[in-house]
Amino acid sequence: MATSGQPDAVINAPHMERIIAAVIDIIIVTGLFLFPRVGWMIGIIYHLTKDSLPFLKGQSFGKHLMRIKVITRPDNRSLVRHPEKSVIRGLVLLIPGLNLVDIWYFFTKGSRLADYWAQTSVIYTSDENPESEDSSL
């Protein structure tokens, strides 16, 4: 991926990478739910905060494997310092009915309704572009 070096020069991630990353994360959450007593709680916490994990530079495991990440708009920052945006994105998928609207919105408009509400975008990551990373906490 070649960018112009400016913070607003980003390439949105295609649907297929986003879907594969989501499936990976769903498998992880399902696996966490299998742990007795606290697994469901850890699974929900992971689901709500997965896009703001500092040890993965603001990516979920699925997004990390697919080399995509969620950034804030308009400043193109990682969600590491904005975990509330990750929670908004996660809550939309947990609310029955709203999750179906979110999925419909994704396939018809190209981005999730949760992205619109949280003012985020999903882009390719770039190891050559460290200024878009929030590495310090």
Buried b (16+ CB within 10 A) or exposed e, 116-129: eebebbbbbbbeeb
Q: How far is CA 17 from the centre of its chain?
A: 12
Contact 80/88 with Cβ under 8 angstroms? Answer: no
What percent of the chain shows pLDDT beyond 90?
69
Q: Structural domain boundaries of the chain?
A: 16-118
Name residue 74's amino acid: P
Tell me the average pLDDT across 117-128. Answer: 84
Nearest-10 Cα torsion for 92, 98, 102, 103: 110
96 pLDDT above the threshold of 60: yes
The yes-or-no verdict on residue 6 having pLDDT over 70 is: no
> The pTM is what?
0.81
Is-contact 79 88, C-beta < 8 A? no
Q: Does residue 90 surpass a pLDDT of 90?
A: yes
